[in-house]
Structure 1
Amino acid sequence: MPFTDHFVTVEGRPVAYVDEGPRDAAPVILLHGGGFDHAELTWRITTADLRDRFRLVVPDIPGYGRSPGFDGPHDLPRLGRWLVAFLDAMEIARADVCGVSMGGGMALWLALEHPDRVRRLVPVGSYGIMPRVPMHRVAHGILRTRLTWLIYNGAGRSRMLARAGLAASYGRRQRVTERAVDELMDVARDQGRRRSFDAFLAAEMDARGLKSDLTPRLGDIAKPVLLVHGSEDRVVPVRHARRAAARIPDARYLELATGHWPMRERPDLFNPALADFLASP
């Protein structure tokens, strides 16, 4: 059976999702990242570990997994509006929201724009807390010249390149498993056709920087926050997370010895920390 085994219509499109755990528990929304990702890839282990204690709602964001994508470029506010519509379709008035990378940016946007929909917030390796990506001009040049297909094609065909890509996302390359390589290659082949993250970056990135840097507004977040970051994150350097945590009034900061994907690299550390925060008074 597929991981995302339910469907709901949001903005006229089907969205695949998981909904597991006690029905009387406060819902926890788990949002995956962009690029080589979908709900199962990021959240399978967390869901298996925590579903006995929490109601976990895990969507495939449009353009990923089993969910059809948007028609063209879409920025972080567009994804945020989609998230509001998803909560409405699921009849969820208020939830704990946890997101990694692009999903972390969506969670931050929701807390800022619709604070009444958020109970607690867990951004992980979050988008939206830096003005530019590392080697920004190079990354923008690759996007502008449409050379990202080489990345998808290479990772979808070569185990060596797929493993190297995972190693760049992990803090320790020896934690990359054969199953993780297989899964990444499958996602690379799918995203080589769909190019969902390209459509996101087309709206978010120009030669000068990123459109959605929420850092100046983080002081307005009035919810309990657990901000999680990998000390060896090469995608969102850790200095940005430390700065972000200092700006949020009610923030706990957890720095793990991982890369950009702590729930995959060290679920033994990430999942208990998430559970403790969600269960706190």
Structure 2
Amino acid sequence: MRRRSLVLPFAAAGILLSACAFMPLATPSTDSPFLKRMQAAEQSHTLHLPEVDLHYLQLGQGPPVVMLPGGGSWAYDFYDLASRLATNHTVYILDTPGNGYTVPAPSTDLNRLYTLEGINAVLLEFMRAKKLEQADFIGNSWGGGFGLYFAERHPERVRRYVSLAGTGLNDPATFLWRLRHVPLLGEALVNLSAYRPLLAWGLRPMYLPGAPSTEDIDEMYRPYIRPWNLHSQLLIYRNVDWAATRQGLTALKAPTLVIWGEQDDVLDARRNEALWRTLHPAARVVVLPGAGHLPHQGNLDEVFQLIQTFLVEEIRGAW
């Protein structure tokens, strides 16, 4: 019995160490058919900054909109929504540091870069480089949290702010996400998430009420498994303190629209709805029945109409 009782701990330790050691080979960026199309259309660009080579897409003409995809995601995720907004806006979709085809400089201190202050500095450098005095900001998940922090720190730079299931209120994530704080176990979970079937499994509820296509899964998978991107997922999760954005809500001056999917499996929609209504009553909060963590995927038409109306309307206090 004693020998048998030792088998499970050793087996579990072996699985854990194997998962920690697992690291898929990075797929070259040229393997992305979508990125090739964007390059051919001259919509894909790279801005060379001291900390990172920042990849972004630019499309349309008009008042500027900056879009920040969520953690583990990249510009591909926002392209359908951005294409609609681009009929009367210049839209910039950024691969925030640690995601997509943005690459950190070899000399960059990643523990400093992958913080709220580090990413805030990159966003400010981007706006200065593009000579943007002010822009509307739209962010999903971590991107929503980064946009919120930027809006709090630089109210003169953000005209309007849209959160699509954005972090930032310091609401606890689901149990599986919180396990990333545990040494070794967090590394194992992040590495295992780079196994394509597991990534696809994790994406499916996010796309509710629809489902991700094979193209969606492939395009999300290709940049996600780059070693520096996988490493960043852990560092951002452990380094970013969302209590700072929650405390900074009093500094949020931009009119705010919050859109959540009722079936969000990452952050609790109803709890975050209540938090927004309590902590920042001026925000308009919309919860979409049946939608998941990526409401712009499962409910593209409705999300576009909400955002388009919000961005172009006069400020009347009706929101």
Q: Could you state the TM-score of these two structures normalised by the residue count of structure 2? A: 0.76
Task: Please point out which of 234, 244, 252 is paired with 1:221.
Answer: 252
| Offset from partner CA, 1:24-60 (integer Å, 9 cap, x none) | x22000011112x1111x2110122221111111122
Alignment of 1:262-277 (within 5 A): 262-277=295-310
Are the counterparts in 2 of residues 101 and 125 from structure 1 also a CA contact under 8 Å?
Answer: yes
Aligned to 1:72: 110
Structure 1 residues 96 and 144, CA gap change in structure 2 (3 angstroms): same
Aligned to 2:69: 32
- Structure 2: 5+ residue stretches without partners: 1-35, 315-319
Q: For 1:137 and 1:127, how far apart are their aligned partners in 2?
A: 14
Task: Please point out which of 186, 202, 219 is paired with 2:238.
Answer: 202
Aligned to 2:81: 46
Q: What is the DSSP-based 3-state SS (H/G/I as helix, E as strand, rest coil) of the residue aligned with 1:122?
A: strand
One-letter amino acid of the structure 2 residue matched with residue 265 of structure 1: G
Q: CA deviation at 1:109?
A: 0.7
Q: What is the DSSP-based 3-state SS (H/G/I as helix, E as strand, rest coil) of the residue aligned with 1:57?
A: strand
* Runs of 4+ off more than 4 Å: 142-145, 191-194
Q: CA deviation at 1:145?
A: 4.7
- Structure 1: 5+ residue stretches without partners: 205-209
Aligned to 2:172: 132
Aligned to 1:234: 265
Q: CA deviation at 1:142?
A: 6.3
| Offset from partner CA, 1:230-265 (integer Å, 9 cap, x none) | 111121111123312442243111111311111122
Q: What is the DSSP-based 3-state SS (H/G/I as helix, E as strand, rest coil) of the residue aligned with 1:97?
A: strand
Q: For 2:228 and 2:150, how far apart are their aligned partners in 1?
A: 29
Q: For 1:196 and 1:2, how far apart are their aligned partners in 2?
A: 27
| Bigger Cα displacement from structure 2, 73-82 vs 116-125 | 73-82
RMSD: 2.3
Aligned to 1:207: none
Identity of aligned residues (%): 24
Q: CA deviation at 1:224?
A: 0.7
One-letter amino acid of the structure 2 residue matched with residue 14 of structure 1: D
Q: For 1:260 and 1:111, how far apart are their aligned partners in 2?
A: 22
Task: Please point out which of 158, 167, 173 is paired with 1:118.
Answer: 158
Q: What is the DSSP-based 3-state SS (H/G/I as helix, E as strand, rest coil) of the residue aligned with 1:175?
A: coil
Aligned to 1:141: 182
One-letter amino acid of the structure 2 residue matched with residue 6 of structure 1: H
Q: For 2:183 and 2:205, how far apart are their aligned partners in 1?
A: 18
Q: Could you state the TM-score of these two structures normalised by the residue count of structure 1? A: 0.85
- Say if 2:279 is the partner of 1:247: yes
The structure that has the greater radius of gyration is: 2
Q: CA deviation at 1:199?
A: 2.0
Q: For 2:195 and 2:199, how far apart are their aligned partners in 1?
A: 8
Structure 1 residues 181 and 18, CA gap change in structure 2 (3 angstroms): closer
Aligned to 1:186: 222
Aligned to 2:213: 177
| Offset from partner CA, 1:160-218 (integer Å, 9 cap, x none) | x333111232334x5232222222332443358642211212312xxxxx454522332
Aligned to 2:135: 95
| Bigger Cα displacement from structure 2, 84-93 vs 175-184 | 175-184
Q: For 1:267 and 1:245, how far apart are their aligned partners in 2?
A: 24
Q: For 1:8 and 1:270, how far apart are their aligned partners in 2?
A: 29
Structure 1 residues 106 and 143, CA gap change in structure 2 (3 angstroms): farther
Q: CA deviation at 1:267?
A: 1.0
Q: CA deviation at 1:149?
A: 4.1
